[in-house]
Structure 1
Amino acid sequence: MSSEQSSNQKKSNQFNIIKDDPNDGHGGYGIGSISLENMSPVIIDPNDDRAFVDMGAMHGRSEVERRVKFQSDRDVVANGKLYWIVWVTVEKGEHGPYFSGVCGSEIVVDRSIKRAYKSMPEHVKHMEKSLKGKVMVEHMDDHSKKLLKDFLANFEGGEMWENASAELKDALPN
């Protein structure tokens, strides 16, 4: 792998950590808007036992969402593969950065018919809950939760996992 490919892979596997306040107290345009700068989507692929950050999911263009047409009826993709887009919010605390909000949203993809299912209201709700520091993973299957836990616990030495709440650690299996 070339150094350019390695560099690109590393950049795509990063979490967004809170940046300086873009408004800096000026009170002008954009005040009251929601910033997604500290949120990153983690794709859980239980079919291939992998988890990875894919920033394309912020705009519905993740690796698993590309080249399919979305349906609002889950029955259309009855033979599809299950994936999870987990909305992960990172905050800075007194001990450093930590995972504060973690909410999983399902997506089912059937590549053979180029169709997929996801509930946009569910994804938006889970993004909002994640931004508010909530943990919502109880609806995920155990294998997917384990993949998520392993990914978060091993991310860049595990500091953000160590600083995470007991609620998050209890929600994901050992």
Structure 2
Amino acid sequence: MGNEQKPKPKMGFTIIKDDPTDGHKGFGIGSLSLENVSPVIIDVEEEVATIEIGAMHARSPLERGIRFLPTREESANGKAYWLIWVTIDYKEEGPYYSGVTACEMVIDRSIRRGYKNFVDHMNRMDRSMKGKIMVDDMDDTSKRVLAEFLKEHNEEIWNRSNAELHDGLRV
């Protein structure tokens, strides 16, 4: 991998506005809104992080055409990725990264198979929305990539974020 500079995608966080009632009364009232949540995918091998809005519904370009299996062994030769749920919330000083949770994912394009735990992915998205920081499972390189990505996206938001996030991504 060396010291080569990787191209850094310059995409901003997309704030997903989701009005669960959509102007009508009845079904869906009281549902959780997915407002302010963005999925970030880290390619572990390439050391690159990108925002992939399609991952909200397991439909990112990376996931398309892949049949996800319940055991990691069936995709043992696959490429490792992290799906990171990033939630931006607001406090008096301004926006900050309130919830950041990491989920593992393996994709073997050659056999069109992969591994991810769907229940864990949904639970971690929920925990991110509730302001939890869950990055302990990540490898040090991926933590560094994510920290750099979040800082570069908006250093002010990074600086306002809780020490728990900074400490969790420190390597």
TM-score by length of 2: 0.86
Tell me the alpha carbon deviations over residues 98-137 of structure 1, each in whole angstroms, 9 at most, x when there is no partner. Answer: 1000000011001111101100010011001000000000
Alignment partner, residue 49 of structure 2: 51
Measured in 2, the distance between the counterparts of 1:76 and 1:142 equals 25
Note if 1:149 corresponds to 2:138.
no
Contact 2:42–2:81 (8 Å) recurs in 1: yes
Letter matched to residue 165 of structure 2: L
Alignment partner, residue 115 of structure 1: 113
Which has the larger helix fraction? 1
Q: 1:72 to 1:32 in 2, by over 3 A?
A: same
Measured in 2, the distance between the counterparts of 1:18 and 1:63 equals 18
How many residues were matched structurally? Answer: 162
Measured in 1, the distance between the counterparts of 2:46 and 2:59 equals 20
Alignment partner, residue 165 of structure 1: 162
Measured in 2, the distance between the counterparts of 1:33 and 1:160 equals 27
Q: Shift in Å at residue 96 of structure 1?
A: 1.1
Measured in 2, the distance between the counterparts of 1:22 and 1:92 equals 21
Alignment partner, residue 42 of structure 1: 40
Secondary structure at the aligned position of 1:101 is classed as strand
Measured in 1, the distance between the counterparts of 2:16 and 2:55 equals 19
Alignment partner, residue 4 of structure 2: none
TM-score by length of 1: 0.85
| Structure 2 unmatched runs, 5+ | 1-8
Letter matched to residue 169 of structure 1: H
Q: Shift in Å at residue 63 of structure 1?
A: 2.6
